[in-house]
Amino acid sequence: MWKNKNVWILLLGEFIAGLGLWLGIIGNLEFMQAKVPSDFVKSLILASGILAGLAVGPLAGRITDQVRKKTVMLIAGFFRSVSVLIMLIAIETNSVIWMIVFLVSIQISAAFYFPALQAAIPLIVKEKDLLQLNAIHMNVSTLSRIAGTAIAGLFVVIMSLSTLYLLSLIAYLGLFIITWFLTINETVSKTTLSSETRKKGGFKEVFPIIKGLPIVFMTLVMTLIPLLFIGGFNLIVINISELQDSASIKGWIYATEGIAFMTGAFIVKRISGKLSPYKILFGFSFVIGISQLMLYFAQIPWMTVLVFAIFGFSVGCFFPTASTIFQTRVPKEFHGRFFSFKNMLDRFIFQVVLLLTGSLLDLIGLQLMGILLGILSIVMTSFFFSKFKQYRKNRMLKEAS
């Protein structure tokens, strides 16, 4: 796998894109802090971009399945670079309207880019290497997030916002140039894709696929379990900081969770040699539920750090495994639409969980919320595990007959 130039291009591109993304995110927050006094209006502005990404999701999935993945990634990368120029106009004119145009355009670009990226990964490595590549890809993404936020936090103090966005533009242009060197063999995908499928090409063709593959459906629903924690992650961290009356605990939590995530993603390949991907999925889903229950002890600093270490490690094993199941079980000719649908679902769930977390924190507090989410996660895991065992049993009986 490491002799494959596409792997190195993909990982380097992910790191560069991550730097550009987080430079832009910090810049967005800084610009809104100066120009938009209302927190509610800030949330509406951010939501405008997310809603635009959701709106074009079906179109993005259809196009990704109809044309070359590299072409979609290049076009999306080009328009992402152009989007940064729009933000430079917003800064020059002190216009919040131009910033909204920037957010809408960059989210639309992302709605095309990420499904194409996920669909391209199974085309550049062998199936046996998918889990390892997914894990490493997520580690690189985490590293770029850590480096990007640290660099942006420093640069926003010592340089102008325009310069910060220029660095973001350079990063996106670097990704665009690197993507040109990708060599993706899409012969199989193109020959298996019927002309009828190309004509219709909507999500209507994806839903029967998901329904007809119980493993894919169960995995898709189970990804909600870590999202119950991740969606309100920042609110939870802020609440813990207030509960312990400590500003430094936030740094410990973010650092611990990031390191634990990378550790989990690093060793999941070894774990997969001893356990099936489904045992990994259900096992770590259950552990995620346990970590949520442990939030009951959030007033104890060392226990808090332990909670996020367990959660980070579990998620680091969970997500690469889930991605591998999707990439291997869903037919390649439907990858674009499937990953576009999943991207839309994740964005929607993030917004719902964010609102749910805020409401629960106000109504019952962090500790009781942790108990509630933990019980919900464990019940969901147990339910789908029993369904999985029944599915395997029925399949074995069918094969025996």
pLDDT digits (tens, 9 = 90+) for 320-334: 888 888 888 888 777
Contact yes or no for 311/291 (Cβ under 8 A)? yes
**Cα angle 323-324-330, degrees, rounded to a multiple of 5:** 90
C-alpha to C-alpha distance for 88 and 167, rounded to whole angstroms: 12
Q: What is the mean pLDDT of residues 128-157?
A: 75
Phi, psi of 337 (to 5 degrees): -70, -40
For residue 313, is pLDDT > 80? Answer: yes
Q: What is the mean pLDDT of residues 165-185?
A: 85
Choice between 304 and 201, residue whose per-residue pLDDT is larger: 304
The burial of 390, by beta-carbon neighbours within 10 Å (0-12 exposed, 13-18 middle, 19 or more buried), is given as exposed
Lowest mean pLDDT among 6-15, 219-228, 363-372: 6-15
Contact yes or no for 276/331 (Cβ under 8 A)? no
Banded pLDDT at 286 (limits 50, 70, 90): very high
Q: Is the dihedral of CA 135, 137, 139, 145 positive or negative?
A: negative
Domain extent listing, the chain: 1-201, 202-394
* pLDDT score of 284: 92
C-alpha to C-alpha distance for 317 and 3, rounded to whole angstroms: 25
The burial of 293, by beta-carbon neighbours within 10 Å (0-12 exposed, 13-18 middle, 19 or more buried), is given as middle
How is domain 1-201 classified at the CATH fold level? Answer: Growth Hormone; Chain: A; (1.20.1250)
Length of the chain: 401
* pLDDT score of 400: 65
Contact yes or no for 167/40 (Cβ under 8 A)? no
Q: What is the mean pLDDT of residues 235-260?
A: 81
Choice between 283 and 352, residue whose per-residue pLDDT is larger: 283
Contact yes or no for 75/112 (Cβ under 8 A)? yes
* pLDDT score of 384: 85
Cα 224 vs. chain centroid, distance in angstroms? 12
What DSSP string runs through 239-274? HHHHHHT-SHHHHHHHHHHHHHHHHHHHHHHHHHTT
C-alpha to C-alpha distance for 176 and 195, rounded to whole angstroms: 31
| DSSP code of residue 67 | S
Q: What is the mean pLDDT of residues 149-175?
A: 81
pLDDT tens profile 15-68:
887 787 777 777 777 787 778 776 566 667 767 777 787 778 778 778 887 888
Q: What is the mean pLDDT of residues 108-131?
A: 80
Asked whether the domain spanning 202-394 has the same topology as the one spanning 1-201, the reply is yes
Q: What is the mean pLDDT of residues 270-293?
A: 88
Domain 202-394 of CATH type 2.40.50.100: no
Contact yes or no for 2/129 (Cβ under 8 A)? no
pLDDT tens profile 72-82:
889 988 988 88
